[in-house]
A and B are shown apart, each in its own frame.
Chain A
Amino acid sequence: MTTSRAFDEARGSRVRWWVLGGVSVVVVGLLGLALGPAGPAWWRVPLAVLDRVPLVSIDSGVTDAQWNIVWQIRAPRVVLAALIGAMLSLAGASYQGVFRNPLVDPYLLGVAAGAGLGATVAFSVARGTTSTWPVDPVPLAAFAGGVVAVALTYTVGTAFGRSRSATTLVLAGVAVTSLATAVQTFVLQRNNDVVRQVYSWILGRLTSATWGDVRLVIPYVLVSSIILLMYRRVIDVLRVGDDEARALGVNVNRVRVVVVLAATLGTSAAVAVSGLIGFVGIIVPHAIRLLMGSSNRVVLPLSMFAGSAFLIAADIPGRLLTSPSETPIGVVTAFFGAPFFLFLLRTREARQ
């Protein structure tokens, strides 16, 4: 009796947290729409949003020009922050789950360095040929760079031995990261004039987010998240170790490969439009684990919600603090993320 009640309670509390996660994303999202240097008074924005809901009519007092600021400038930023925060957190939690290592981040297999190299090349060497393109070449180059780097990591990491051991893959990631960074530095030295642009790209940005960026990233984020969430129960079985998971009927290598590839695809797309926003993929899953326990069935979906809310929130001080020139979001995530993380660690230590 008690055992089956324990299952019911676990599910009940899971549903409560899902709802809470969804609500907090919406609330923070509205804040993100409402706050900013220009535009209507902050309290009018939620009214204006409600006014746009079918069958609802409210006189919000927001002019069309003001609504344009909200809809064309702030809304894509909020949506993009939500997507990228969710993607990086989910990818981080998944990597940590399949490698059973809490320090692994979504940039582990060379995505970041590859994307950085791709972006650098687009900013410098290829500038002449791509300047006439109708689309911004930087996200495409970054995406291509990230995917190529991970493909290389994967090829090198699995070429030796049949075992496809996790350690070999991680080490190959380190090697590929070093190689890509070396090439990037070389290219940068030859093209001093773009250092500033590359540097600000590396720090991550949502400043110039458009609905086009959202459209670019959304298919990858969707596919990747659906795959990762579907695997969350199996990733949880991996917590007992490779051997035992295998004895329980899990095809460990296949699960690891599929999860890593899905997480990498989503991460590459996120990095391509937003640059390298650090810290999210480690800190958000950790915060969830500290609060909710380590079950991946809980950590994966809740990390998505928390990551969304966290990145939308982290984008707000950046535009208020130092306007008109904004603080890069990567700086904000690290500046607020690190102390928050220490606080969580401390309270947990105190509780035990």
Chain B
Amino acid sequence: MTSLVLRQVRVEYGGCAVVSSVDESLAAGEWLCLIGPNGAGKSSLLRAVAGLVEYSGEIAFDGVALDALSARELARKVAFVPQNPLLPDDMSVSEYVMLGRNPYISTFGRESVRDRGVVTALVEELSLSVYARRPLGTLSGGERQRVVIARALAQEAPVLLLDEPTSALDLGHQQHALELVDQLRRRRNLVVVSAMHDLTLAGLYSDRLLLLHQGVGVARGRAQDVLRSETLDEFYGVSARVIHEGDGTVVVVPQRSHGES
């Protein structure tokens, strides 16, 4: 069953298209990774789905066009983790995760028992209990990333968007964060769309890749089909060795093109 559908999506900044004619459809539980060089339109496409930039074309979830929803209704459908989230230093972890409940709390209301239950359960599920009272300013990069994911999950939205979720993390924490997202999407049947720079990790965790170049989808499909050295050469302008392992894993290794003379 298809749940998130993008049809002819186009985003313009000042008359200049940064995303154009993107078509995509994703089923519940599916993970799509957007790849492409800087400026390819990955973030803009994510921001369009999150309702943060204007777009033309259609983005719909379970048949309902997202631009017809109010900000609150949209936040119950789509949760967005930006590349550099702003974490107020002296806000506690539990307060921060509670922000994710905003779409369920009326403007002048206060959080309900259920809101607190959701936050408490999430904080435990993501092994953040020991940090619950800690101010955000005292957390390490890996902990911060988990807290931001917890806040997004508190929205209980069926669609999770991640903009460069691993860019600030070391190798081990990159893997932890992505494993976490993978477990969560399976447990909750989430549609996940993420923008990633690390092609090997992108291929490893997602079900499908969409390679964007100048705002247009130029290659799509499984990692084995999209990650090819000719493709990377053409759209990233790099020379890279692409190793296809027996188990379907694709490893992208950059190589020095002119170094060996």
- Residues of A at under 8 Å CB distance from B? 1-4, 6-7, 10, 230-231, 233-234, 237, 239-241, 243-244, 246-251, 293-295
Determine whether the beta carbon of B100 is less than 8 Å from that of A248: yes
- Chain B nearest CB from A248 CB (Å) reads 5
- Chain B nearest CB from A227 CB (Å) reads 10
Known: A6-B94, A239-B88. A246 touches B52 (CB 8 A): yes
Complex contacts, B88 vs chain A, CB 8 Å: 239-240, 294
Determine whether the beta carbon of B50 is less than 8 Å from that of A247: yes
Determine whether the beta carbon of A247 is less than 8 Å from that of B52: yes
- Chain A nearest CB from B94 CB (Å) reads 5
Determine whether the beta carbon of B75 is less than 8 Å from that of A248: yes
Determine whether the beta carbon of B120 is less than 8 Å from that of A4: yes
- Give which listed residue, B82, B91, B119, contacts A244 with CB less than 8 A: B82
Complex contacts, B86 vs chain A, CB 8 Å: 239-241, 244
**Could you list some 14 contacts between A and B, CB below 8 A?**
A2-B129, A2-B132, A2-B133, A3-B132, A6-B92, A6-B133, A7-B116, A10-B92, A243-B82, A244-B82, A247-B51, A249-B71, A250-B102, A294-B91
Complex contacts, A243 vs chain B, CB 8 Å: 52, 82
Interface: B72 (CB within 8 A)? yes
Determine whether the beta carbon of B75 is less than 8 Å from that of A249: yes
- Give which listed residue, B73, B99, B108, contacts A230 with CB less than 8 A: B108
Complex-state Cα separation, A250 to B75, whole angstroms? 9
Complex-state Cα separation, A241 to B83, whole angstroms? 13
Determine whether the beta carbon of A248 is less than 8 Å from that of B52: no
- Residues of B at under 8 Å CB distance from A? 50-52, 70-76, 78-80, 82, 85-88, 90-92, 94-95, 99-100, 102-103, 105, 107-110, 116-117, 119-120, 123-124, 129-130, 132-133, 155
- Chain B nearest CB from A303 CB (Å) reads 16
Q: Which residue on A lies nearest to B88, using beta carbons?
A: A239
Complex contacts, A241 vs chain B, CB 8 Å: 86
Determine whether the beta carbon of A6 is less than 8 Å from that of B99: no
Apart from A244-B85, A249-B72: 7 A-B pairs, beta carbons within 8 A = A3-B120, A4-B117, A7-B94, A231-B108, A248-B100, A249-B75, A249-B76
Q: Which residue on B lies nearest to A7, using beta carbons?
A: B116
Determine whether the beta carbon of B107 is less than 8 Å from that of A247: no
Complex-state Cα separation, A183 to B102, whole angstroms? 46
Known: A6-B133, A244-B82. A251 touches B95 (CB 8 A): no
Determine whether the beta carbon of B110 is less than 8 Å from that of A233: yes
Determine whether the beta carbon of B52 is less than 8 Å from that of A294: no
Complex contacts, B133 vs chain A, CB 8 Å: 2, 6
Complex-state Cα separation, A250 to B155, whole angstroms? 13
Q: Which residue on A lies nearest to B129, using beta carbons?
A: A2
- Chain A nearest CB from B206 CB (Å) reads 22
Complex contacts, B92 vs chain A, CB 8 Å: 6, 10
Max chain B Cβ within 10 angstroms of own Cβ: one of A6, A247, A293: A247
Complex-state Cα separation, A18 to B79, whole angstroms? 35
Determine whether the beta carbon of A3 is less than 8 Å from that of B91: no
Complex contacts, A248 vs chain B, CB 8 Å: 75, 99-100, 102-103, 155
Determine whether the beta carbon of B132 is less than 8 Å from that of A6: yes
Known: A246-B52, A247-B50, A249-B74. A239 touches B103 (CB 8 A): no
- Chain A nearest CB from B71 CB (Å) reads 5
- Chain B nearest CB from A119 CB (Å) reads 36
Determine whether the beta carbon of A240 is less than 8 Å from that of B85: yes
Complex-state Cα separation, A231 to B109, whole angstroms? 9
Determine whether the beta carbon of A237 is less than 8 Å from that of B99: yes
Complex contacts, A250 vs chain B, CB 8 Å: 71, 102
Complex contacts, A295 vs chain B, CB 8 Å: 90-91, 95
Q: Which residue on A lies nearest to B130, using beta carbons?
A: A2
Complex-state Cα separation, A319 to B155, whole angstroms? 55
Determine whether the beta carbon of B71 is less than 8 Å from that of A3: no
Complex contacts, B52 vs chain A, CB 8 Å: 243, 246-247
Complex contacts, B123 vs chain A, CB 8 Å: 3
- Chain A nearest CB from B184 CB (Å) reads 18
Complex-state Cα separation, A111 to B109, whole angstroms? 31
Determine whether the beta carbon of A3 is less than 8 Å from that of B119: yes
Complex contacts, A231 vs chain B, CB 8 Å: 107-108
Determine whether the beta carbon of B71 is less than 8 Å from that of A251: yes
Complex-state Cα separation, A65 to B61, whole angstroms? 76
- Give which listed residue, A1, A6, A237, A294, contacts B102 with CB less than 8 A: A237
Complex-state Cα separation, A239 to B88, whole angstroms? 7
- Chain B nearest CB from A257 CB (Å) reads 14
Determine whether the beta carbon of B90 is less than 8 Å from that of A249: no
Complex-state Cα separation, A237 to B98, whole angstroms? 10
Complex-state Cα separation, A246 to B76, whole angstroms? 12
Complex-state Cα separation, A237 to B74, whole angstroms? 16
- Give which listed residue, A4, A234, A294, contacts B116 with CB less than 8 A: A4
Complex contacts, B132 vs chain A, CB 8 Å: 2-3, 6
Determine whether the beta carbon of B102 is less than 8 Å from that of A249: yes
- Chain A nearest CB from B53 CB (Å) reads 10
Complex contacts, B74 vs chain A, CB 8 Å: 249
Complex-state Cα separation, A230 to B109, whole angstroms? 8
Complex contacts, A294 vs chain B, CB 8 Å: 88, 90-91
Complex contacts, A293 vs chain B, CB 8 Å: 90-91
Complex-state Cα separation, A290 to B57, whole angstroms? 48
Complex contacts, A3 vs chain B, CB 8 Å: 94, 119-120, 123-124, 129, 132
- Chain A nearest CB from B109 CB (Å) reads 8
Complex-state Cα separation, A6 to B133, whole angstroms? 7
